[in-house]
Structure 1
């Protein structure tokens, strides 16, 4: 995907270089529901009317679950969301969630038969995404997850 396509997918409409307009600033989601709504809006804009049959109910559920997990973890453990980007490629969705913590996510180790509340999200993200990358920045970290849409 080239830069113009990325600008078009993130902001909607023509890239600012072609239209002369400055795109609206990205809105950081206040919670997981708001993040899922942004993802759904982008998917709806690409696929016109989106339902569980457009992408397949499992694919749509995976995209929304990974979105929820990354945003919830940024809010709960990362000191808040500092950036949120969602972009569509030909057959994938790229999701970036940045937060204010430099501490990387961890997978909890449990003893056999131990069932505790919480701690399953990072393992789910890694299992559901095609790729996951964590990059520590000068102000926190950025987590990029790429999910297949087919």
Structure 2
């Protein structure tokens, strides 16, 4: 996959399909495509298991942030899976950077653009882990759905 200029500009063909729950997905070309995948997956839950809007919004925000950061700071998205488990929504996002996400401190008195995504992911996810491998890293986030 060849990254574009940003999370909504990635060019190139998607990677091979991966089985995720009951849905087959391709490595998304951008953050919008990743959100669509997660939306479909969450909608596939059995009737009677409707999720609160805030839970869906949190899941989509975490998806957007992880995929956007892979494009902007991680050298491109190299892998993506979304899976429903007994614990919640399990997202795995891989990129080409061997560096961990950076948390930067901001003074509340100054206007600052950017730097809020990673702390937001860590706050909204039940668990977050980073695994480094040759050629990049993989971030796994679990979002509770209850």
Structures share a fold, TM > 0.5? Answer: yes
Structure having the larger proportion of residues in helix? 1
Give 1:131's match in structure 2, choosing from 119, 127, 133: 127
Identify the residue that residue 77 of structure 2 maps to in structure 1.
Answer: 81
CA displacement 1:9-34 (0-9 Å, x = unmatched): 70527xxxxxxxxxx6x411111100
RMSD: 2.1
Provide the C-alpha distance between the structure 2 equivalents of 1:117 and 1:69, rounded to a whole number of angstroms. 15
Question: What secondary structure does 2:45 align onto?
Answer: helix
Structure 2 unpaired stretches of 5+: 1-18
Q: Which residue of 1 aligns with 2:115?
A: 119
Alignment of 1:48-87 (within 5 A): 54-87=50-83
Deviations 1:44-87 (A, max 9, x none): 2224699xxx2101111100000000000001111111110111
Q: Which moved more, 1:58-67 or 1:102-111?
A: 102-111
2:142 aligned to 117, 142, 146, which one?
146
Alpha-carbon distance between aligned partners in 2 of 1:135 and 1:114, rounded to the nearest angstrom? 34
The aligned length equals 129
Partners of 2:102 and 2:127 in 1: how far apart? 16
Q: Secondary structure at the match of 2:111?
A: coil
Distance 1:113 1:27, change over 3 A: same
Secondary structure of the residue aligned to 1:141 is: strand
TM-score computed with the length of structure 1 as normaliser: 0.79
Closer, same or farther: CA 28–48 of 1 in aligned 2, 3 Å: farther
**Structure 1 residue runs without a partner (length 5+):** 1-8, 14-23
Aligned partner of residue 20 in structure 2, secondary structure: helix
